[in-house]
Amino acid sequence: MTLIERLGLCALHRLDPEKAHGLSLMALRAGLAPLPGVVTSDRLKTDLAGLRLANPVGLAAGYDKNAEAVAALMRAGFGFVEVGAATPRPQPGNPQPRLFRLTEDRAVINRFGFNNEGACAISARLALRPKGGIPVGLNLGANKDSTDRAADFAEVLATCGPHIDFATVNVSSPNTEKLRDLQGRAALSALLAGVMEVRAGLERPVPVFLKIAPDLSPDDLADVAEVALASGISGIIATNTTLSRDGLHSAHRSEAGGLSGAPLFEKSTRVLAQLSQLTEGRLPLVGVGGISTPEQAWEKIRAGASAVQVYSAMVYEGLSLVPRLARGLDALAAQAGFARIADAVGSGRGDWL
C-alpha cells in the first residue's frame, strides 16, 4: 500500500461508512485512483464456466451497486467484476445507518436491503461499458414489496442480459425479509427454472451462478447442490454474508445485518469445501468471504474454488489489495509446483472437511 493510499483510507475512515463508500466510487469515476490495468500470467489465466479470466480474483457484488464505476473497476487488476444487486424497480433500501465498520475484527456489517436505481438504469450504464475487457456480471435481486420475488430475478435478467457477461441469482442476502426462504428445494427449483428460461431466450446466453448463504445446514446445502446440478446453472458462489456474531469484539457487533470480512473466512471456506465435495467437480465454484491475503485466496482455491471474489477487505487494505492478491496467487501456485491455478482447484479440500 502506498503512502497516498494509506492517507486516503485514513481520511475515508473518519467519515460515515456509507458516505465513504460513495466518495470512493466518485474518486474512481474521476480517475483519482491509480489503476494497474490487467494483472495476468500464463499461470493465472483461468476458465470459469466459459468466461476467460486474466486472473481468478474478482470483485464481489455490493460495491458498485448501480454500475457507476465499471470502466475504472475493469482496470483495477480484477479478473472479473460483479455489480449490483439490481431489482426490477428502484428502491431506497433500509433506513440509515445501515453500514458499520468493525475495525477491531477487520469486518463489516451491512443491512442495505438491495438499495439500487433499478434494472433499467443499471442496464443503460452497462450498455456503455468498454467492450473487450474483463468479464462484467450482474447480481440479480428482488424488490422488497414484490408479490412474486422469483419472477423478479428473471425480469432483471431479461432487462440487463444483453449487456452482461454473467449473472448471479442472489437468494442469500439476509437483509430482505424471507429472501433466504428461496433457498429451499422447491422454491429454488422454480426460481432457477424461470431464470434459465429467460437465459435461453437471450441472443447471447450468459453463465448463471447461484450465490448461497454460509448459514445453511448440511441437509440444506445438499439440497442446494442437488437443485443446482439439476437446473443447468453454470456455477455456485459460496458464500454471502453471515448472521453469526461469534467471536466479535467491535462496538458494532450487535448491529443487525450481514457480517462480512475476516470473521467469515473459516465458515465460508468450510461451506465451499463441502459444496465441492457434494458437486464432485461438476460445477465450478467461486469462493468469497474473508479474503485479505494471497494465502487466504489460495486456501479458497485449494478448498475447491476456481475463482475468488473480494470486497470487505478493500475497506481496510485499499484497492491495491487486488493486484497484490493476483500476483501472490501466481507466486504461491509456482511454489507449490502448479503450472496453472486451475490445476490446484480442490487439491486441499480435505483440510476443510
How do the residues of the chain divide into helix, strand and coil, expressed in percent and rounded to 5? 40, 15, 40
The CATH number covering residue 333 comes to 3.20.20.70
User: How many distinct structural domains can be found in the chain?
Assistant: 1
Active-site residue flag, 268: no
Per-residue pLDDT at 64: 98
Cis peptide before 97 (omega within 30 of 0): yes
Smallest Cα–Cα separation from 310: which of 302, 225, 296, 70?
A: 296
Per-residue pLDDT at 102: 98
The residue segments making up the domain with residue 82 are 3-352
pLDDT in tens, the chain (353 residues): 888 899 999 999 999 999 999 999 999 999 998 999 999 999 999 999 999 999 999 999 999 999 999 999 999 999 999 999 999 999 999 999 999 999 999 999 999 999 999 999 999 999 999 988 999 999 999 999 999 999 999 999 999 999 999 999 998 888 787 788 888 888 999 999 999 999 999 999 999 999 999 999 999 999 999 999 999 999 999 999 999 999 999 999 999 999 999 999 999 999 999 999 999 999 999 999 999 999 999 999 999 999 999 999 999 999 999 999 999 999 999 999 999 999 999 999 999 99
DSSP alpha helices (H): ranges in the chain? 3-12, 17-29, 70-73, 119-127, 149-160, 185-201, 218-231, 265-279, 294-303, 313-317, 321-335
Smallest Cα–Cα separation from 67: which of 49, 81, 78?
A: 81
Q: Which of 173, 234, 260, 320 is catalytic?
A: 173
Residues in the chain: 353
